[in-house]
Amino acid sequence: MQAVVLVGGFGTRLRPLTNTRPKQMLPIVNRPMVEHVVGHLVRHGVSRVVLALGYRPDAFVDAYPDGRCGGVPLHYAVEPEPLDTAGAIRFAARDAGVEGRFVVVNGDVLTDLDLGRVLALHDERGAEATITLHRVTDPSRYGVVPTDTTGRVEAFVEKPPPGEAPTDLINAGTYVLEPSVLDRIAGGRRVSIEREVFPAMVADHTLYAIDGETYWIDTGTPAEYVQAQVDLLDGTRGCALTGVHRTADVDPRADVELSAVGAGVVVGPGARVTRSVLLPGATIGAGAVVDGSIVGEGADVARGAHLSEHCVVGDGGVVPRDARLAGARVERAPEGVRGG
Ligand code: GTP
């Protein structure tokens, strides 16, 4: 079975971290996000992965120069211009010569979905496409998918106003598609699968959905990018992972809790790092506090500084001594500036 993994978006909500790399090459507990996504697919029987690339494709080619990831071959499909979700699926599937039914996943979703169950139901129902769903408390920023008792999709409602959603089941970004879906997608222009293709299939009664009933997170915002890692560190998804890289230098007087600490990171005495992500080579000064925040590669949080509420410090960024930042985005510092 083949899978198309969408990894070509700009990842604007995670800027400035995504100024220099695609979102899916950001680490999730010290391993690129794309490896978690591909690993899950491989565990469920996927034997070839097509990466639908657009923004900064070289990052993937450089990371997997032998064209393999998670033990399976990769096909790199690089769009000449951003084609949006459906346009990207069509381009990538055709570029890779995909035949028969195939799986599509958003490359920024982490889930424990039982793909075999989805495939079995897709076949049983004779669906043209099957969408997986996830139940959320506030569906207003997602695509909401009401179904009838047979699982047939009745509507596809993009981002309903708060309180007006017909269901709390949202599009979870994993699809099983028959090849005929590709013929529904116009070539050479941007086409959204959620706004154009799925609504047309609803009208034709060929679109089905299934509640994944399992762990699911979209890592696209700073808060969720951090939460996806906390969930792997606190045992929410089974055996808890170790978050501190073996080459990190954490002072014994520092306190690091439920955080992913990358290679070569230095955490000074008295520093406190909680529910945060420190990318390789970051430095956290003595007595600094990093809570629920992300510190980019080689960035410098100076002594006594205080970061909270999903601050994002870009690669090489500098947070000055004793600064207090909440929910801030810090870009790379000018050459030669260090925090002290
Ligand atoms: P934001 O800019 O923060 O919204 O992030 P994004 O660009 O990743 O957009 P979004 O999260 O909506 O995209 C969902 C998935 O589709 C992600 O895995 C993206 O990488 C991917 N994606 C979005 N647009 C395109 C595109 O035009 N081409 C390709 N190949 N992938 C895309």
DSSP 14-43: GTTGGGSS-GGGSEETTEEHHHHHHHHHHH
> Tens digits of per-residue pLDDT, 214-271?
999 999 999 999 999 999 999 999 889 999 999 999 999 999 999 999 999 999 999 9
Q: What are phi and psi of 283, to 5 degrees?
A: -125, 130
Nearest residue (by CA) to ligand 1, atom 11, is 220
- Say if residue 333's pLDDT is above 70: no
Nearest residue (by CA) to ligand 1, atom 29, is 8
Nearest residue (by CA) to ligand 1, atom 5, is 11
159 is an active site residue:
yes
Choose the residue to mutate in 85, 95, 170 for probing ligand 1, maximizing ligand atoms within 8 Å of C-beta. Answer: 85
Alpha-carbon separation of residue 115 from 1, 42, 94, 297 (angstroms): 11, 10, 23, 34
CB of 7 sitting under 6 A from ligand 1: yes
CA–CA separation, 25 vs 5, rounded Å?
A: 13
> Tens digits of per-residue pLDDT, 66-89?
999 999 999 999 999 999 999 999
> Tens digits of per-residue pLDDT, 304-322?
999 999 999 999 999 999 9
Give the pTM.
Answer: 0.94
Reduce the DSSP state of residue 186 to 3 states and report it. Answer: coil
Tokens, residue 323: 């600064």
220 CA distance to ligand 1 middle (Å): 9
CB of 13 sitting under 6 A from ligand 1: yes
Q: What pLDDT does 163 receive?
A: 84
Closest CA to 146 of 217, 213, 199, 89: 199
Nearest ligand 1 atom, CA 14: 3
Nearest residue (by CA) to ligand 1, atom 31, is 8
Choose the residue to mutate in 106, 141, 193, 195 for probing ligand 1, maximizing ligand atoms within 8 Å of C-beta. Answer: 106
- Say if residue 340's pLDDT is above 60: no
7 CA distance to ligand 1 middle (Å): 6
Closest CA to 40 of 110, 121, 133: 110
> Tens digits of per-residue pLDDT, 145-167?
999 999 999 998 888 898 888 99
Nearest residue (by CA) to ligand 1, atom 9, is 9
Nearest ligand 1 atom, CA 11: 5
pLDDT average, residue stretch 283-300? 98
